[in-house]
Amino acid sequence: MSHTPVRRAAAPARLHPSMQRRTFLRAVSAGTVVMALGGGAYVLADSEDEERARATLRPDGRPRLPPGQHLLQRLRPMGGDQGDPSPGGFRLQVHGEVDSPYTLDFEGLRAMPQVEQECDVHCVTKWTVLGAHFTGVRVADLAERARVRPGAHYVIFEAAYGYTANVPLHEALAPSVLVAHRHEGTPLARAHGAPARALVPDLYFWKSAKWLTGVRFAREDAPGYWETRGYHNHADPWKEERYG
């Protein structure tokens, strides 16, 4: 995506790397045009681009840019405890309320039907990237192979160091929801969850767990890392479901 003209503002405040996500979110006001993430400053897109994005409707009738969001040019790493980035160490457990649980190594993941898609990404810290490209395997295809039982109603994405994120089953089975291993035509960077991460583009991006280790199908809901720390259990960007 090409760079667009930017609005100028006062020099951005620097945020300490250990600043908690909730504090950072409150620091980003609707009028802020520069965001400091991971020790770097990133300029938001021109207001005209944002207006066009808000005026453009998705197939479901919602504006392409959700309320309260501002455009960035590319994904920003948002921290977290990084897992093993090596494809050789990757193991994805597909389990839970299924008749045929299994485990995939990285080559097994790549042997599944591959999907290349363009989608928009919305972070709870109020930035959005339009038209990001990802390659991966649909969660729906993983579910079909595992033979999910009728009693399952949720998907729990499991990641390094016990991180989890919960998504209703019917949303996790949407065609756009992937276990992604490539971004913009190249393998995922470690900061973005290498070698594979969840991708749930229609929910705030904390639901797209990085350094993925498991996809668990569950009967009961199990709020994850951020949900148990005050974040919204569902995380719809168009309803601004930030906090519970």
CA atoms within 13 A on the CB side of 7: 16
pLDDT at 21: 53
Residue 38 has pLDDT above 70, yes or no: no
Provide the pLDDT for residue 22: 52
Q: Is 174 among the domain residues?
A: yes
CA angle 113, 197, 231 (to 5 degrees): 130
- The answer to whether the pTM exceeds 0.95 is no
* Residue 228 forms part of a structural domain: yes
- Into how many domains does the chain fold? 1
In a domain, 146, yes or no: yes
pLDDT value, residue 116: 98
**Residue 47 pLDDT:** 78
Sorting pLDDT into bands at 50, 70 and 90, what band is 12? very low
91: domain range? 87-116+132-239
Strand partners, 103: 93
Name the nearest CA neighbour of 103 among 204, 216, 9, 241: 216
Asked if residue 169 belongs to a domain, the reply is yes
pLDDT digits (tens, 9 = 90+) for 48-59: 888 999 999 999
Give the span between the Cα atoms of 214 and 95, in whole angstroms: 8
Exposed, middle or buried by CB within 10 Å (0-12, 13-18, 19+), for 12?
middle
- CATH code for the domain of 187: 3.90.420.10
How many angstroms separate the CA atoms of 111 and 29, rounded?
44
In whole angstroms, what is the distance from residue 96 CA to residue 148 CA? 8
- Exposure b/e, 71-87, CB count within 10 A at least 16 = b: bbbebbebbbeebebeb
The answer to whether residue 79 sits within a structural domain is no
Reported as a pLDDT band with limits 50, 70 and 90, residue 244 is confident
In a 13 Å sphere around the CA of 37, the CA atoms on its Cβ side amount to: 22
State mean pLDDT over 155-162: 97
Convert the pLDDT of each residue in 211-239 to its tens digit. 999 999 999 999 999 999 999 999 999 99
pLDDT at 63 over 50: yes
Where does 38-138 show beta strands of DSSP type E? 40-43, 70-71, 91-96, 102-105, 115-122, 127-138
182 falls within a domain: yes
Q: Which of 138, 90, 92 is nearest to 115 (CA)?
A: 138
Res. 30 pLDDT band, cuts 50 70 90: very low
